[in-house]
Amino acid sequence: MITKHKSVTTLAIVALLFTGVACKRGHDNPGLEFAPNMYESVGYEPYRQIKPNPINPTGLNMRLPARGTVARPNYHTTFGKGDSAKTDLMIYNIPADSISIAERVLVNPIPQTEQSLADGQLLYTRYCSHCHGATGQGDGPVGKEYKGVPNYTTDAYKSMNDGHIYHVITHGKGRMWPHGSQITPEDRWKIVQYVHKLQQG
């Protein structure tokens, strides 16, 4: 067969080779899919959108939550058991510029246990340590570049109370920007506990 129709066979082989090579894709190409609608979803997905949404004004599928909405995690507002149970604010409504109110009014509602302190350490490592350093000396790898990160153990910082630290995490202070959107109130209080431990050096 091969000797008889040599030109045809050669052509077919070259064509096959090219189709094979054409399937190799670049880094920018996700490639073929069996059912594209399963990947480029017909329904709304939070982090993938192929075409602009005609219903929402910005063309986005996602919308901002209605004003005054409280995120679900914030519903966990009572801590401890029985008489020692403490209630936390459902919404933290002390304004950003009123740190002195927070210092006077707020007390950590989460009873300090070994577990809560361990949680606090984990959360501190996640959200704080790259600037504030593992021991709170302001020597984290980002902190060195960012500059102006305080040392918790120094005189001006070692006496800062629950409300102060909580308020600073929520709204930021000085060079530190607000972290309230990233850390839930409950997690913030656990971090406060661990920061108190670091303040003692």
Partner 1 sequence: MSRLSRVYGAVALSLALLINGGQVKAQDSSAGADGGSAAATPASGGGGDAEKGKTLFTNNCAQCHSVTDEKVVGPGLKGIEDRAPSRDWLHKWIQNSSALIASGDAYANQVFNANGKVQMSSFPNLSNADIDGILAYIDQANKPAAPTGGGDGTTTPAPSGGGSGAASGPSELFTFVLVALLVVMLLVLGVLLVIVTILSKAVTPTAEGVQPKSSFGQRLKEGLSSTFNNPTLRSIIIWLFLFVAVKETLDGAYGIGIQQGYAPKQPIAYSHKLHAGQYKIDCNYCHTGAQKGKNATIPAANICMNCHGVIKKESPEIQKIYTAIEQNRPIEWIRVHNLPDLAYFNHAQHVNVGNVQCQTCHGEIEKMEVVEQRSSLTMGWCIDCHRRTEVNTKDNAYYDKLVALHKKESKEPLKVANIGGLECSKCHY
Kindly list the residues in this chain that would bind partner 1 in the complex (CB under 8 A). Answer: 2-3, 9, 13-14, 16-17, 19-21, 23-24, 27-35, 37-39, 41, 43, 46-48, 58, 60, 73, 125-127, 129-130, 138, 140-142, 144-151, 153-156, 174-175, 177-179, 181-183
* Residue placing its CB nearer to partner 1 in the complex, 86 or 175: 175
Shortest Å, Cβ 154 to partner 1: 4
Shortest Å, Cβ 173 to partner 1: 9
Give the whole-angstrom CA distance, residue 188 versus residue 163: 11
* Residue placing its CB nearer to partner 1 in the complex, 28 or 83: 28
The Cα-based distances of 134 to 25, 107, 126, 142, 166 in angstroms read 44, 25, 10, 12, 19
* Residue placing its CB nearer to partner 1 in the complex, 84 or 181: 181
What type of residue is 74?
N
* Residue placing its CB nearer to partner 1 in the complex, 29 or 200: 29
CA atoms within 13 A of residue 108's CA, in its CB half-sphere: 23
Shortest Å, Cβ 195 to partner 1: 16
Shortest Å, Cβ 74 to partner 1: 12
Shortest Å, Cβ 177 to partner 1: 4
Shortest Å, Cβ 121 to partner 1: 13
- Sequence-ordered strand ranges (E) for 50-191: 78-79, 86-87
> If phi over 0 gives left and psi between -120 and 50 gives alpha, with beta otherwise, what is residue 68?
left
* Residue placing its CB nearer to partner 1 in the complex, 66 or 84: 66
3 state SS for 104-127: HHCCCCCCCCHHHHHHHHHHHHHH
Give the whole-angstrom CA distance, residue 19 versus residue 106: 69
* Residue placing its CB nearer to partner 1 in the complex, 111 or 141: 141
| Cβ neighbours of 117 (radius 10 Å) | 16
